[in-house]
């Protein structure tokens, strides 16, 4: 059995690493900044060991209920800090600590020589600690505190190179857009606060997450109608609004591709195991609430399905390798959200696990090719498989896992989502399941196309000059202020960068075997282990004491998804493999389509011009400015005029003559006496 101190240590170790790097190394020992990286890695390694121990304890069914620490008493509800340990928590702890550890090891090589090395590790440690605190939270207020801390940490990391205008703008954009979503989440929490007395009367705490689950169950609704009908739907949609902001779901997705302005390891962590995963985790954490609202589930499913196709289409034309992966992340998060909306709780979390492995590997691979070429623009890459064979093989494995090619990890999780979408779960209307399935299947084709396009442009053909050629062409286009600093050194990345990639490559191959392969029982792993494990945890949350059902492997669905993937692969190979000039894209020939996709459906322009400039600046800001100038300033001016004139009037009585003052006093005394007599 794992004790409470060990679980708290999972959160406190990266938090301690943050304090050590920020308060000790950076101000006093910055010459030895490597210490901050080593301390972070040591802390995360220990946290990963404790996370594995926690997972083992949950698998064995040990008691994992711990007494919370009371913080505040508000009305009929207490706000406390506690631990919620269930299968979802145990799996997420492994994902967060495992991926974070590998990214931090990789960063030793990638960030080597950066003047702010200690600051980088301090921010990364704080980011990881915030995510772990979010995962462990048993109270929705506690969860919200760490939810916002994740947002603050992401702001610091995206804008890490804040001297670059693009990085500073991206950080502000991410912070503002995710805050918009968080307003919905906050409103849901405030509603729960207004119901604190009702919850208390039913013996529940309005802020305690298991009690919120219980309040949404049919039995509780029948007894006290705590969360039912339209109220339940709006609470669920408020929670989903927060999740949509963090996980980049339409229409709050525009910040996520711009977040690529941060260091590549930051992108790997944000897009694989922390920030964007937080949104999916939030919906999964409150799934016992969502599942009792058909309307909320429908919204989640359709938004997720649309996002999956919408984002994938933009990935078709991007030239920046990190932006291709960014849109890929948005698309895959759409798969997870769509699965949750359909009621496919376990397959959604399983896809989160597999996605964390292969997407982290893809981003680290992007960092590796950037290390060699000095650029992220695929138009200036090419031919890298000859000089970077290890990176090429690993990126190819991760890319095929993303596409969903058997037997790699992505195939098993994506196949379960497609199979569940086709069959339906009964939680939403059949048409919702069919529309979602069609969108997700189309997403498979698009994913295969942009992934193979990315691999061909990056690794195949002939090398096209890297950053040297890019800067040369930019200097010719705009010679004033242009500089040429070089940065190409075609060679495999150092082993400190390759080792984490190799580990992720192995995981991307093998983690799928925790789900569906027919022969797992022969090596001691039950069929559908991970989905069954997660499903049983959900059943326990709903107080159902029976084994959760799982989806059997479907050969026909595997065939359909594989054919869809191969069609996208084949089209990409046909269009890009034998082309000599890779700096122009064939999709550009279809000018209107290419323009629409490359301009990201003009969503950024829409937000900037219509909402920000015309909506906010002209209407909201203009209206408040009018109120300030005419109402507020008018009232202040009126008060000033009044007292100024009163002063002038009173000043006329200040004659300096004692006789006049004595007369005034006499009349005043007489007036008082008269008033008393008449009273």
Residue percentage of the chain with pLDDT more than 90: 38
Residue percentage of the chain with pLDDT more than 70: 89
Buried b (16+ CB within 10 A) or exposed e, 270-302: bbbbbbbbbbbbbbbbbbbbbbbbeebbbbbbb
CB distance 356 to 366 below 8 Å:
no
Start-to-end C-alpha separation, the chain? 84
CB distance 249 to 177 below 8 Å:
no
The DSSP-derived string for 610-654 is: IIIIIIIIIIIIHHHHHIIIIIIHHHHHHHHHHHHHHHHHHHTT-
List the one residue out of 491, 505, 286, 490 whose CA is nearest residue 395.
505
> What pLDDT does residue 482 have?
34
DSSP designation for 23: I
Tokens of 223: 């007894």
- Whether the upstream peptide bond of residue 489 has omega within 30° of 0, thus cis, is no
CB distance 90 to 236 below 8 Å:
no
Residue 484 to residue 475: CA distance in whole angstroms: 8
Q: Which helix (H) or strand (E) holds 71?
A: strand 69-74
Would you say residue 509 has pLDDT above 80?
A: yes
Other residues' Cβ atoms within 10 Å of the Cβ of residue 207: 25
Per residue in 149-205, pLDDT (tens digit) is: 999 999 999 988 888 888 888 888 888 888 889 999 999 999 998 888 888 888 888
At residue 358 the predicted structure's pLDDT band, cuts being 50, 70 and 90, is: very high
CB distance 131 to 278 below 8 Å:
yes
pLDDT, averaged across the chain: 84
Per residue in 219-265, pLDDT (tens digit) is: 765 555 577 778 889 999 999 999 999 988 988 888 888 888 888 88
The DSSP-derived string for 288-325 is: HHHTT-HHHHHHHHHHHHHHHHHHHHHHTT--BHHHHH
> What pLDDT does residue 51 have?
93
Other residues' Cβ atoms within 10 Å of the Cβ of residue 197: 12
Which pTM value belongs to this model? 0.86
List the one residue out of 550, 317, 546, 276 whose CA is nearest residue 412.
550
> What pLDDT does residue 517 have?
55
Residue 452 burial (C-beta neighbours within 10 Å; 0-12, 13-18, 19+): buried
Would you say residue 362 has pLDDT above 90?
A: yes
Per residue in 633-653, pLDDT (tens digit) is: 888 888 888 877 787 777 766
SS3 57: helix
Would you say residue 520 has pLDDT above 60?
A: no
How many residues can be counted in the chain?
A: 679
At residue 534 the predicted structure's pLDDT band, cuts being 50, 70 and 90, is: confident
* Backbone φ/ψ region at 579: left (φ over 0), alpha (ψ -120 to 50), beta: beta
CA-CA-CA-CA torsion for 10, 15, 20, 25, nearest 10 degrees? 110
| H helix runs in 427-481, sequence order | 430-459, 466-477
SS3 519: coil
> What pLDDT does residue 418 have?
93
Other residues' Cβ atoms within 10 Å of the Cβ of residue 16: 16
Tokens of 510: 């093998």
> What pLDDT does residue 593 have?
79
Tokens of 613: 């400039």
At residue 271 the predicted structure's pLDDT band, cuts being 50, 70 and 90, is: confident
CA torsion through residues 336, 337, 340, 341, sign: negative
């Amino acid at each position: 059995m794992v004790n409470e101190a060990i679980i708290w240590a999972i959160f406190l170790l990266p938090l301690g690493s943050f304090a050590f790097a920020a308060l000790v190394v950076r101000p006093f020992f910055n010459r030895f900044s490597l210490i901050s990286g080593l301390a972070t890695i040591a802390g995360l390694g220990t946290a990963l060991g404790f996370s594995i121990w926690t997972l083992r304890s949950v698998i064995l069914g040990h008691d994992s209920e711990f007494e919370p620490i009371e913080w505040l008493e508000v009305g009929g509800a207490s706000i406390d800090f506690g631990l919620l340990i269930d299968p979802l928590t145990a799996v997420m702890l492994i994902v967060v600590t495992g991926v974070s550890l590998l990214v931090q090891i990789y960063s030793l090589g990638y960030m080597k020589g950066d003047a702010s090395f200690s600051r980088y590790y301090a921010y990364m440690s704080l980011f990881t600690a915030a995510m772990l605190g979010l995962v462990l939270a048993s109270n929705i207020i506690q969860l919200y505190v760490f939810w916002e801390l994740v947002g603050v940490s992401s702001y610091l990391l995206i804008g890490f190179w804040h001297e670059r205008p693009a990085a500073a703008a991206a950080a502000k954009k991410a912070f503002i857009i995710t805050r918009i979503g968080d307003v919905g989440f906050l409103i849901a929490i405030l509603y729960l606060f207004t119901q604190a007395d009702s919850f208390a009367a039913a013996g529940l705490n309005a802020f305690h997450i298991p009690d919120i689950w219980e309040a949404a169950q049919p039995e509780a609704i029948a007894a006290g109608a705590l969360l039912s009908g339209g109220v339940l739907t709006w609470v669920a949609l408020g929670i989903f609004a927060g999740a949509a902001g963090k996980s980049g779901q339409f229409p709050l997705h525009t910040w996520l591709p711009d977040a690529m302005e941060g260091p590549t390891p930051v992108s790997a962590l944000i897009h694989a195991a922390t920030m964007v995963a937080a949104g999916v985790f939030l919906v999964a954490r409150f799934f016992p609430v969502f599942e009792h609202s058909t309307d909320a589930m429908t919204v989640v499913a359709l938004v997720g399905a649309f996002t999956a196709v919408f984002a994938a289409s933009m990935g078709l034309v991007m030239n920046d390798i990190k932006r291709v992966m960014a849109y890929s992340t948005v698309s895959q998060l759409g798969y997870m959200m769509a699965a949750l909306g359909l009621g496919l709780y376990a397959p959604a979390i399983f896809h989160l696990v597999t996605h964390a492995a292969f997407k982290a590997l893809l981003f680290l691979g992007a960092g590796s090719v950037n290390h060699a070429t000095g650029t992220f623009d695929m138009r200036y890459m090419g031919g890298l498989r000859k000089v970077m064979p290890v990176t090429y093989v690993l990126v190819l494995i991760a890319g095929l896992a993303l596409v969903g090619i058997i037997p790699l990890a992505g195939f098993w999780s994506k196949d379960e989502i497609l199979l569940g979408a086709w069959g339906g779960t009964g939680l939403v209307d059949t048409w919702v399941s069919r529309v979602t399935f069609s969108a997700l299947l189309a997403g498979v084709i698009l994913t295969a196309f942009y992934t193979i396009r990315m691999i061909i442009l990056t690794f195949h053909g002939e090398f096209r000059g890297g950053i040297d050629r890019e800067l040369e062409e930019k200097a010719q286009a705009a010679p004033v202020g242009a500089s040429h600093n070089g940065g190409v050194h075609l060679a495999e990345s150092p082993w400190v960068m390759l080792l984490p990639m190799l580990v992720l490559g192995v995981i991307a191959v093998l983690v799928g075997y925790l789900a569906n392969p027919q022969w797992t029982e022969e090596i001691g792993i039950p069929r559908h282990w991970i989905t069954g494990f997660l499903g049983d945890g959900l059943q326990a949350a709903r107080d159902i004491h029976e084994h959760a059902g799982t989806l059997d492997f479907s050969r026909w669905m595997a065939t359909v998804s594989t054919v869809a993937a191969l069609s996208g692969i084949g089209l990409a190979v046909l269009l890009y493999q034998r082309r000599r000039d890779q700096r122009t894209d064939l999709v550009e020939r279809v000018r209107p389509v290419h323009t629409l996709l490359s301009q990201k459906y003009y969503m950024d322009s829409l937000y900037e011009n219509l909402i920000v400039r015309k909506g906010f600046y002209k209407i909201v800001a203009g209206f408040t400015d009018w109120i300030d100038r005419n109402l507020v300033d008018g009232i202040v001016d009126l008060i000033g005029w009044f007292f100024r004139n009163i002063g002038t009037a009173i000043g006329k009585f200040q004659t300096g003559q004692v006789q006049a003052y004595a007369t005034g006093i006499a009349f005043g005394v007489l007036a008082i006496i008269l008033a008393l007599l008449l009273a």
